[in-house]
């Protein structure tokens, strides 16, 4: 069984500063990895995904993530955040079956 740990529950950041959200997973088999974003009172939107190939994945809204198999990590980064990036971010893992396991979420608050 896989599990997902998001290492930071809250990340405050100033506008135009970089941000990194950390995600570690545990799984004994190959995985597919995802980052989702949830804006207030909305559902989850897919930011990016790693299925195979290049370990550096680019997503929407200027986000990118790097898959590190040896460290079992999939950290999300953005070089310069905007106020509109204030949201909750979820890391998720799938091992090619029905089950998508989510981390507990990281709340990003961007301040001017």
Partner 1 sequence: NAGVTQTPKFRVLKTGQSMTLLCAQDMNHEYMYWYRQDPGMGLRLIHYSVGEGTTAKGEVPDGYNVSRLKKQNFLLGLESAAPSQTSVYFCASSDREGQPQHFGDGTRLSIL
Can you give the binding site for partner 1, defined by CB under 8 A? Answer: 4, 9, 32, 34, 36, 41-46, 49, 51, 90, 94-100, 102-105
Q: Which is nearer to partner 1, 19 or 33 (CB)?
A: 33
* Paired sense of beta strands 32-38 and 44-50, if any: antiparallel
Per-residue tokens: 43: 């559902």
Q: What sign has the CA pseudo-torsion 32, 69, 103, 62?
A: negative
The answer to whether 64 and 48 have CB atoms below 8 angstroms apart is: yes
State in angstroms the smallest separation of the CB of 7 from partner 1. 14
**CA–CA separation, 12 and 43 (whole Å):** 22
Q: Which is nearer to partner 1, 74 or 90 (CB)?
A: 90
Q: Which is nearer to partner 1, 64 or 105 (CB)?
A: 105
State in angstroms the smallest separation of the CB of 91 from partner 1. 9
């Amino acid at each position: 069984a896989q599990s997902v740990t998001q290492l930071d529950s809250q990340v405050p950041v100033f506008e135009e500063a970089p941000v990194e959200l950390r995600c570690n997973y545990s799984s004994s088999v190959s995985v597919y990895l995802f980052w989702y974003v949830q804006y207030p009172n909305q559902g989850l939107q897919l930011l990016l995904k790693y299925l195979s190939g290049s370990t550096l994945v680019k997503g929407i809204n200027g986000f990118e993530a790097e898959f590190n198999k040896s460290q079992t990590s999939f950290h999300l980064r953005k070089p310069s955040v905007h106020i509109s990036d204030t949201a909750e971010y979820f890391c998720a893992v799938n091992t090619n079956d029905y089950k998508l396991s989510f981390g507990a979420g990281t709340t990003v608050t961007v301040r001017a």
